Amino acid sequence: MVDDLAARFEHTVASEARIEPRDWMPDGYRRTLIRQIAQHAHSEIIGMQPEGNWISRAPSLRRKAILLAKVQDEAGHGLYLYAATETLGADRGELTEKLIDGKQKYSSIFNYPTLTFADMGVIGWLVDGAAICNQVPLCRTSYGPYARAMIRICKEESFHQRQGYELLMTMMRGTQAQRDMVQDAVDRWWWPSLMMFGPPDEESSNTEQSMAWRIKRNTNDELRQKYVDMSMPQAAKLGVTFPDPELKWNPERGHHDFGQPDWEEFWQVVGGHGPCNSQRVAHRRKAHEDGAWVREAAAAHAAKARRSQEGVA
Ligand SMILES: [Fe+2]
Ligand SMILES: [Fe+2]
């Protein structure tokens, strides 16, 4: 029986059809998806903090409205993704507990501080840009609810990237001090952006199985290369440089060569020792605790509605 089910699962994946919540799936597939989607959801929610930090200090009403809309989108992305984990039998409350207890991770990028308003532009351009590179292939991932959530998320991410690039273009047309601010932000965010694709392929323990299950569609190094190639003409148009002396076009490969990020720093940040890890998690924990009354009130309201429907109230 299980052999039949396993064969059907393999066939569905191999034929590029989608696995749906009620379909049989191997336990490892379910566990891998819950881990990956939860990590992705946590990243969206924690990712609101570095930018939320600047909403009250935006330089104009227009910039404030754009930033506010973007940060709200990220909350929405977190919600779609937590909902996708629930179709796999996960409990959203438990996932949040795991995040604030440090048992589940989120993207390393959100552990770096945002020092100037130029960081809002560079995050949109480079960080949301890297997210798009990572996420566009996930629109074809083998698990249906995740793939469908990613289609909507990717549409919103492209607005995030454009608003960032447009902000930087505006600053680059401004004063020398504004141009310097943009270059400084690019210098600080370039290497952490490259780290967003995860460790080099030979150190990425989950890649092979995830590729076989078609959860993941490209390796970390493939996506990193694509991102570098995509970012170079954008940097030239903007008039900024990346802080990598090894970065240059290689006509034989048809790609840019580039240096390696500091992987030691990456593992430190992933291990909880980045510049802002403890602040990010403490902030999330406080928001969760402060929101307890809302969850209790919503549960009480739902129970009351249920009772009145059953004619008991
Ligand atoms: Fe997002
Ligand atoms: Fe985004």
Residues 6+ apart with CB under 8 A from 306: none
Output the CA 254–ligand 1 centroid distance in Å.
31
Output the CA 44–ligand 1 centroid distance in Å.
5
CA separation, residue 156 to residues 19, 74, 128 (Å): 25, 9, 10
pLDDT band at 204 (very low <50, low <70, confident <90, very high): confident
Per residue in 232-276, pLDDT tens? 999 999 999 999 999 999 999 999 999 999 999 999 999 999 999
Output the CA 142–ligand 2 centroid distance in Å.
23
pLDDT band at 228 (very low <50, low <70, confident <90, very high): very high
Averaged pLDDT for residues 145-174: 96
Mean per-residue pLDDT over the chain, rounded: 95
For residue 162, which ligand has an atom nearest its CA?
Answer: 2
For residue 107, which ligand has an atom nearest its CA?
Answer: 1
pLDDT band at 163 (very low <50, low <70, confident <90, very high): very high
- Look at residue 209 in the predicted model and tell me its pLDDT: 87
Output the CA 3–ligand 1 centroid distance in Å.
38
With contact defined as beta carbons under 8 Å apart, do 281 and 100 qualify? yes
- Look at residue 3 in the predicted model and tell me its pLDDT: 85
- Look at residue 287 in the predicted model and tell me its pLDDT: 95
Instruction: Look up residue 64 and give its two tokens.
Output: 């404030």
Per residue in 68-101, pLDDT tens? 999 999 999 999 999 999 999 999 999 999 999 9
Output the CA 88–ligand 1 centroid distance in Å.
21
Output the CA 74–ligand 2 centroid distance in Å.
6
pLDDT band at 197 (very low <50, low <70, confident <90, very high): very high
Output the CA 183–ligand 1 centroid distance in Å.
24
pLDDT band at 205 (very low <50, low <70, confident <90, very high): confident
**Percentage of residues in the chain with pLDDT exceeding 90?**
92
Output the CA 132–ligand 2 centroid distance in Å.
8
For residue 149, which ligand has an atom nearest its CA?
Answer: 1
pLDDT band at 312 (very low <50, low <70, confident <90, very high): low
For residue 44, which ligand has an atom nearest its CA?
Answer: 1
Averaged pLDDT for residues 23-33: 95
Per residue in 280-299, pLDDT tens? 999 999 999 999 999 999 99
- Look at residue 216 in the predicted model and tell me its pLDDT: 87
Let me know the angle formed at the C-alpha of 241 by 112 and 229, rounded to the nearest 5 degrees.
90
- Top-confidence residue, 209 or 66: 66
DSSP letter, residue 260 = P
Question: Helices 277-290 and 292-309 meet at what angle, rounded to 10?
Answer: 40
Please, how many CA atoms are within 13 Å of residue 159, restricted to the half-sphere of its CB? Answer: 13
Q: Over 90: is that where the pLDDT of 172 sits?
A: yes
Output the CA 75–ligand 2 centroid distance in Å.
10
